[in-house]
Amino acid sequence: MGNKYLIAAVSSALLLAHITATAAPSIGDIAGSQQSTIMLKSALERAKLEKELSDMKDVKVSATELCTSKGIGMLSLKAIYGVGNKLHGSFYYNSSSTMEAQVGDTLLCGEKVKTLRLGKVEVVKENITYVLSGSSHSIAKN
């Protein structure tokens, strides 16, 4: 009679182990899987950014290629950001030469940021004030 109970207990334990092994994944299993997916996506994005950065390092631009002797050349305003009076401007000459500046800062080709507001950006070069109006064009004020 003891063997019958032992066989029944072992059979029950094996059946329970089999059911547990083939049951649907638990919340912990799903969370672990999601975390792994997020980590892989993050690693892929990092690899893409590292390649892009590596490609950018190969582009060499000198100030003499960008700067003109008269005017502000191809200088454009990309964005203005900040809070209150702590505004910053993002300026660029071409896609590989972006600069961040505040009022009073001097840009790559000698332009000094005079005014930086959401509706008005002025830079001065050789005593001439230029008004930047986004990436479209700039106008000499005097």
What Rg value do the Cα atoms of the chain yield, rounded? 32
CATH architecture of 63-140: Roll (2.30)
Place 137 in a pLDDT band, splitting at 50, 70 and 90: very low
Which residue ranges make up each domain of the chain?
Answer: 2-57, 63-140
Q: Specify the pTM.
A: 0.49
pLDDT, one tens digit per residue, over 56-70 is 665 555 555 667 667
Report residue 117: phi and psi, to 5°: -135, 165
The owner of tokens 């479209």 is 136
Nearest-angstrom CA–CA distance, 102 and 115: 9
pLDDT, one tens digit per residue, over 13-58 is 665 566 655 556 677 778 888 888 888 888 888 888 888 777 766 5
Q: Strand pairing partners for 121?
A: 116, 132
